[in-house]
Amino acid sequence: MAWTYLFIGGILEIVWTIGLKQMDNHRNLWWTVIFYVSIISSFGFLQKALETLPIGTAYSIYTSIGVIGTAIFGMVFFKEPFSLLRIFFILLIIGGVFGLKITSTNY
């Protein structure tokens, strides 16, 4: 169950990062609410995952989910630069996350 909590926390990290960009210095009420609800929930799920998982592995994977998701979301919806080199480096992050997962002693 800890891996599920970690995954949900990582997805919520993507949401709060997008909310941070969209809330326009707290002027956009809906995005401000989305930001605060998702950041608190995200850290709550991370904390729950840390009850079982090693902190180094869990935090690395948590932030990697956020980095990968936010980068892809930015390229697709915010017209940020898209290149094969960026995709290559995202794939390197995914490889690192996979390596951390398979070498973890907690399943």
pLDDT in tens, the chain (107 residues): 999 999 999 999 999 999 999 999 999 999 999 999 999 999 999 999 999 999 988 999 999 999 999 999 999 999 999 999 999 999 999 999 888 888 877 55
Residue type, 1: M
Domain segments of the chain as ranges:
2-103
